[in-house]
Amino acid sequence: MKRREFITLLGGAAAFPMIARAQQPNSLDSELQRAVERKDAAGVVVMAANRKGVIYQGAFGVADIGAARPLKMDSLFRIASMTKAVTSTAAMQLIEQGRLKLDEVVWRYLPASGFEYLNVIESFDSATGDYRLRPASKFVTVQHLFTHTSGFGYPFTSAILRDYKPRPADKDRLGPLLFEPGTRWHYGTSVDWLGRIVEKVSGLSLEDYFHQRIFAPLGMTDTFYFVPKDKEARLVTVNHRRPDGSLVKDAVQPPTSGFTPVGGGGLTSTAADYIRFTRMFLNGGELDGARILSAQSVAAMGQNHIGAIGVPALKSALPDRSEDFSFIADGRDKWGLGFLITADAVAGKRTAGSLSWGGINNTYYWLDPARGITGVIMMQFLPFADKRALGVYDTFERGVYRMVEASR
């Protein structure tokens, strides 16, 4: 099943004659429909926009494999690590207010949390699990949390953390770091701790802070940690891909309440809500009269904050949860204050300097400030960075830029 809608912005910079194009075999909606029919995804919701508004949107496939419930534009997705950009935005607001400093050590904001005493893994024997630790020579700073250069990882991004079993005598309460803070980039739990700082400094829970300072001003009425009962019927079920390539619904679905929100993940949202968030960045921190960040803060978030360090393409340690991070330009991409920064322009796609990231259930977004284009694509299955899911993402992105070029 397919539901689609094309948007023409009257008088705007990107008015596309898409209703006529929609019937052609090579139109973007036809390409996305074929991707669903090939089972590249059970369903996909997409939305693209420029600074003035939405320029393309479509919903294809089903929200529930078992019930064959069709996807709609207002379907709710678990966006997982797309939460990280929201948390980073909240932290930048506190920096603007002078209540938080990038170069400050974390333990000053979270005293007695364990940040005052951290160890680094000096060696690890994968055969026996034996390891050696040494005290970290540097403290983790707020900037390290923003940029994933703290030394924290995830079990699915590190075989060491996957297999690490602490000894009873170990004193580090937060677990060991993979490296000295500020010396490497590694995707992990850093933004979870940035979220804790937001709560500590603001005196609000993440749920309340996000709603009051970001979601309500932007008109994001369908974004939350705890899904309201009257909206649960719009949730898309989480699936996983079997070794034979088929998709099956997970027997246990993520909870909609009763968990502790963290800065690194856990939000549920719609494509329409999240693209309002990304459009705010395209417009220098403001959308429809709501100022969320200063233009200076938005510019700073999109700049390289890891210096000569490169973002490596990581090998997955848990293939059922994530495939390799093959979508990264190995060692050349950079990281800003909350975003991956694209190093290489690719013909027919985003320009160099574009910002992006995604969520583990194959939800993704990108921001192309140079072209004034942003896109959000929502799927809902594991593993992350599934090659067929990335193929759908590529089809969507190329189709958007193709329409932009055709409108010139």
Element (H, E) at 60: strand 54-64
Structure tokens at 28: 């973007």
| Catalytic (active-site) positions | 81, 84, 187
Cβ atoms within 10 Å, residue 204: 16
Give the pairing type, strands 239-241 and 247-249: antiparallel
* 49: CB partners within 8 A, 6+ apart: 55, 275, 278, 279, 282, 373, 374, 375
User: Where are any strands of DSSP class E within 125-196?
Assistant: 131-135
Between β-strands 247-249 and 267-269, what pairing exists: parallel, antiparallel or unpaired?
unpaired
Which run of H or of E encompasses 374? strand 373-378
Report the DSSP pairing between strands 54-64 and 355-359: unpaired
From residue 308, alpha-carbon distances to 38, 212, 333, 339, 365 in Å are 42, 37, 10, 16, 25
Cα separation, 141 vs 102, in Å, equals: 7
Separation between Cα atoms, residue 289 and residue 149, nearest integer Å: 35
> Is there a cis peptide before residue 383, judged by omega within 30 degrees of 0?
yes
Nearest C-alpha neighbor of 73 from the set 55, 46, 94: 46
What are the counts of helices (DSSP H) followed by strands (DSSP E) for the chain?
11, 18
The SS3 call for residue 250 is: coil
